[in-house]
Amino acid sequence: MDSNSVSPMPELAPIAEFDKSPPSPPNEEVPMDDLPPPPATISQPEGKTKLQRTRSYDSEDTERGACEWCEYALVITLATVLLLGVSGLTVFWILYYREGFGWADDIPEKQFNLHPALMVAGFVTFSGFSVLLYRICRCLRRIYVKLLHAIFHALAMPCIVIGFLAVLDFHNKKGINNFYSLHSWIGLTAMGLFGLQYAVGFFSFLLLLICSKGTAGFRASLVPVHAAFGVLTFVLGVAACLTGLTEKALFTIGNETYASMSEESIVMNAIGVSIVGVAIVVLYTVRGTGGHRTRTVAAQHPS
Amino acid sequence: MDSNSVSPMPELAPIAEFDKSPPSPPNEEVPMDDLPPPPATISQPEGKTKLQRTRSYDSEDTERGACEWCEYALVITLATVLLLGVSGLTVFWILYYREGFGWADDIPEKQFNLHPALMVAGFVTFSGFSVLLYRICRCLRRIYVKLLHAIFHALAMPCIVIGFLAVLDFHNKKGINNFYSLHSWIGLTAMGLFGLQYAVGFFSFLLLLICSKGTAGFRASLVPVHAAFGVLTFVLGVAACLTGLTEKALFTIGNETYASMSEESIVMNAIGVSIVGVAIVVLYTVRGTGGHRTRTVAAQHPS
């Protein structure tokens, strides 16, 4: 058994179910400060002790370790390419086909252009990086991972707010009604959830650390709720982007040009496909999050 | 400890991580015939034996049991209402606002109307029921659950095929290009994955039962792949429905009427919102599926 084979994706799925696991590897000291401390050690029949919350390793450790590192590297590379690519492609589309950005009264369309670019940046790129970092960062202390998670969401927030104001003001300037489409309903819900999640997350997982011990139980019970609503917000953001792209294609390129597979149609569809790709990678990395709740409950009641 | 407190949602998340669990309750005999038999019993320090793959119960068993049954009842009720409601609402929309269905040359629009109704029925209602049944059916033998899963997907298949042919033939009759939109790209991918999943699932999890023991390892290793691609297919189906609804609203109701929040706009948006609701409930029930793989691996290598 190789004690250095540290799995790179720590909490994707609780896998110590058939636990015959070795002691925690040396560098597995990630403080789980939202979880109550596990009931430390239990005695084994052989007289050894072991940490209860460790990964299970078996006779094929080295090979599994290598596979997991490959998966880790692949997910990070793919995610980075897609997350940066989708915003890059959106900016390219607007600069090359839609005359760029602006906030002047004479060309309100340039102001509208801020909407797709900023919403994709906020709901997909920054939010996606934030979720991914939280799931895959292993080498950093937990508090730094949480700060990174908060910072990336903090970067997403002005994007979403300005992106929202851009389209609201554009509609008002052009005399177009607001909040009538499925896109806007989904987007509004996603924005509301985003704000709520940020406020609750910031208060609970950062501010309440001032009284770390006293709030451990509350914070632990909030983790799975925050995770579930986080995934929901992300998925709603993606759905809003896809319906928004469809609307924009039909409004601006027009039905017939869109149907003739113009260059711009293909670029816009490529943006949509990239967003779907991002969603797949992010949902893949957060799979098994549901196990968290039960582990927390079990940790609180170690029988 | 109440040995009758059987959790109603069996495999949502592996929760025996801190396993100090009692013997499996009497009626917990769900044959896991895609998984190799667990390494039965291991001896405990106290001289007792226990099943390794059991749920962990603690001193608050009765309360937790009641909570889980409440959750179970709520999920089933909500899912049934949403899954039937979304198809009912789509049929109502078409009958009341879009002149109903047909397959005649004189009114091709009636033929098009089959497309949204059948796609929603196939990708959302039948597929949704199929996934839910597989996750929440506990009282039935595993093989019957698998057959129900296969039957509901078999019901979805003609809906999807006829729904696809309806729009293809409509486009050809009207001289409209095919496969140009983001909606069509996402929908095509979803259809391809659906067919592939059905073929692989039928062959692997039903036909290969002929040689049950010899194929146990292969089937067990395929379960998490099938589950992951199943969720992906469902999510892509939902994304196709949402982008399709947006397209249809702009094509048929028209931009200005849609923006004026006509009755029909609200009905169409309500269909979209219901589809999002279905997606949330289904994703909620399949959360933690990612844990499956690891359990399987651990079961194969009990070390």
> Which chain A residue's Cα is nearest to B57?
A303
CA B208 – CA B203 distance, rounded (Å) = 6
By mean pLDDT, which of A22-31, A194-203, B177-186, B189-198 is the weakest? A22-31
Do residue B13 and residue A236 have CB atoms under 8 angstroms apart?
no
Tell me how crowded residue B37 is: count the other CB atoms within 10 A of its CB.
Answer: 12
Tell me how crowded residue B114 is: count the other CB atoms within 10 A of its CB.
Answer: 22
Please name the residues in contact with B122: beta carbons below 8 A apart, sequence gap of 6 or more: B156, B157, B158, B159, B160, B163, B237
Domain count, chain B: 1
- Looking at the partner chain, which of A60, A235, A298 has a beta carbon nearest the beta carbon of B301? A60
A-B Cβ pairs (cutoff 8 Å, strict): 213
A41-43 and A49-51 strand pairing: antiparallel
Q: Which residues of B touch A176 (CB under 8 A)?
A: 259
With a cut of 80, say whether residue B114 has pLDDT above it. yes
Q: Which residues of A touch B5 (CB under 8 A)?
A: none
Q: Which two tokens stand for residue A234?
A: 């992300």
The pLDDT score that the predictor gives to residue B136 is 86
Residues B83/B124, Cβ–Cβ less than 8 Å = yes
With a cut of 50, say whether residue B297 has pLDDT above it. no
Long-range contacts of B46-52 (CB under 8 A, 24+ apart): B50/B21, B50/B22, B50/B23, B51/B23, B51/B24, B52/A17, B52/A18, B52/B16, B52/B19, B52/B302
CA A237 from centroid of its chain's CA atoms: 11
Residues B298/B20, Cβ–Cβ less than 8 Å = no
Q: How far is B288 from chain A (nearest CA, A)?
A: 4
By mean pLDDT, which of A241-250, B154-163, B278-287 is the weakest? B278-287
With a cut of 60, say whether residue A155 has pLDDT above it. yes
CA B132 – CA B199 distance, rounded (Å) = 20
Provide the pLDDT confidence category of residue B72 given band limits of 50, 70 and 90: confident
Q: Which two tokens stand for residue A51?
A: 């940490």
Alpha helix (H) ranges present in chain B? 61-97, 108-112, 114-119, 127-136, 142-174, 182-201, 216-248, 255-259, 263-285, 291-300
**Distance (Å) of CA B11 to CA A21, A125, A160, A289, B288:** 22, 33, 37, 14, 8
Q: Which two tokens stand for residue B269?
A: 């948006």
Q: Does residue B87 form part of some domain?
A: yes
The pLDDT score that the predictor gives to residue B289 is 56
With a cut of 50, say whether residue B27 has pLDDT above it. no
Q: Does residue A26 form part of some domain?
A: no
Q: How far is A40 from chain B (nearest CA, A)?
A: 11
pLDDT in tens, A84-115: 999 999 999 999 999 999 998 888 999 999 99
Higher pLDDT, B80 or B4: B80
pLDDT in tens, B55-70: 444 456 677 678 888 9
pLDDT in tens, B260-272: 999 999 999 999 9
The pLDDT score that the predictor gives to residue B60 is 60
Q: How far is B264 from chain A (nearest CA, A)?
A: 11
- The DSSP line for A39-84 is --EEE-TTS-EEESS-----TTHHHHHHHHHHHHHHHHHHHHHHHH
CA angle (B64, B67, B70) in 5-degree steps:
150
The pLDDT score that the predictor gives to residue B69 is 87
Mean predicted confidence (pLDDT) in A2-19: 40
The pLDDT score that the predictor gives to residue B65 is 79
Q: Does residue B140 form part of some domain?
A: yes
Q: Which residues of B touch A294 (CB under 8 A)?
A: 13-15, 17
Q: Does residue A19 form part of some domain?
A: no
Do residue B279 and residue A235 have CB atoms under 8 angstroms apart?
yes
Write down the mean pLDDT value for chain A: 81
The pLDDT score that the predictor gives to residue B61 is 66
CA A245 – CA A239 distance, rounded (Å) = 10
Residues A3/A27, Cβ–Cβ less than 8 Å = no
Please name the residues in contact with B106: beta carbons below 8 A apart, sequence gap of 6 or more: none
- What's chain A's length in residues? 303
Q: How far is B219 from chain A (nearest CA, A)?
A: 20
The pLDDT score that the predictor gives to residue A152 is 97
Mean predicted confidence (pLDDT) in B15-28: 35
Q: Taking the CA of residue A157 as centre, how many other CA atoms within 13 Å lie in the half-sphere pointing to its CB? A: 14
Task: Map residue B51 onto helix, strand or coil.
Answer: strand
Provide the pLDDT confidence category of residue B104 given band limits of 50, 70 and 90: confident
pLDDT in tens, B200-220: 999 999 999 999 899 999 999
Residues B191/B160, Cβ–Cβ less than 8 Å = yes
**Residue B156: closest CA among B124, B204, B199:** B124
Do residue B249 and residue A182 have CB atoms under 8 angstroms apart?
yes
Residues A283/A236, Cβ–Cβ less than 8 Å = no
pLDDT in tens, B224-242: 999 999 999 999 999 999 9
Q: Does residue B125 form part of some domain?
A: yes
Provide the pLDDT confidence category of residue B47 given band limits of 50, 70 and 90: very low
Rg of chain B (C-alpha set): 23
Provide the pLDDT confidence category of residue A120 given band limits of 50, 70 and 90: very high
**Residue B53: closest CA among B16, B26, B93, B4:** B16
- HEC sequence for B180-237: CCHHHHHHHHHHHHHHHHHHHHHHHHHHHHHHCCCCHHHHHHHHHHHHHHHHHHHHHH
**Residue B156: closest CA among B119, B183, B187:** B119
> Which chain A residue's Cα is nearest to B47?
A45
Tell me how crowded residue B46 is: count the other CB atoms within 10 A of its CB.
Answer: 8
pLDDT in tens, A235-275: 999 999 999 999 999 999 999 999 999 999 999 999 999 99
With a cut of 50, say whether residue A122 has pLDDT above it. yes
- The DSSP line for A233-257 is HHHHHHHHHHHHHHHHIIIII-HHH
The pLDDT score that the predictor gives to residue A40 is 41
Do residue B250 and residue A249 have CB atoms under 8 angstroms apart?
no
B95 phi/psi in degrees, rounded to 5: -70, -40
CB neighbour class for B93 (10 Å; exposed up to 12, middle 13-18, buried from 19): buried
Mutate to test the interface with B, among A238, A243, A248 (most CBs of B within 10 A): A243
Write down the mean pLDDT value for chain B: 81
CA A188 – CA A201 distance, rounded (Å) = 20
**Residue with structure tokens 């609503």?**
A229
Q: Is the dihedral of CA A233, A238, A243, A249 positive or negative?
A: positive
Do residue A276 and residue B58 have CB atoms under 8 angstroms apart?
no
Q: Does residue B161 form part of some domain?
A: yes
Provide the pLDDT confidence category of residue A15 given band limits of 50, 70 and 90: very low
Q: How far is B58 from chain A (nearest CA, A)?
A: 5
With a cut of 80, say whether residue A27 has pLDDT above it. no
Q: Which residues of B touch A281 (CB under 8 A)?
A: none
With a cut of 60, say whether residue B8 has pLDDT above it. no
Q: Does residue B25 form part of some domain?
A: no
Q: Does residue A46 form part of some domain?
A: no
Mutate to test the interface with B, among A41, A178, A182 (most CBs of B within 10 A): A182
Q: Which residues of B touch A284 (CB under 8 A)?
A: 228
With a cut of 70, say whether residue B110 has pLDDT above it. yes
By mean pLDDT, which of B34-38, B116-120, B283-287 is the weakest? B34-38
- Looking at the partner chain, which of B19, B250, B293 has a beta carbon nearest the beta carbon of A250? B250
The pLDDT score that the predictor gives to residue A34 is 54
> Which chain A residue's Cα is nearest to B19?
A17
Q: Which two tokens stand for residue A245?
A: 């792209």
**CATH number of the domain where residue B219 is located:** 1.20.120.1770
Long-range contacts of B260-266 (CB under 8 A, 24+ apart): B260/A177, B260/A180, B261/A177, B261/A180, B263/B97, B264/B93, B264/B97, B265/A180, B265/A181
Helix orientation angle between B216-248 and B291-300, rounded to the nearest 10 degrees: 170
Please name the residues in contact with B178: beta carbons below 8 A apart, sequence gap of 6 or more: B168, B171, B172, B184
By mean pLDDT, which of A10-24, B151-165, B198-212 is the weakest? A10-24
Residue B277 belongs to domain spanning: 63-300
Provide the pLDDT confidence category of residue A166 given band limits of 50, 70 and 90: very high
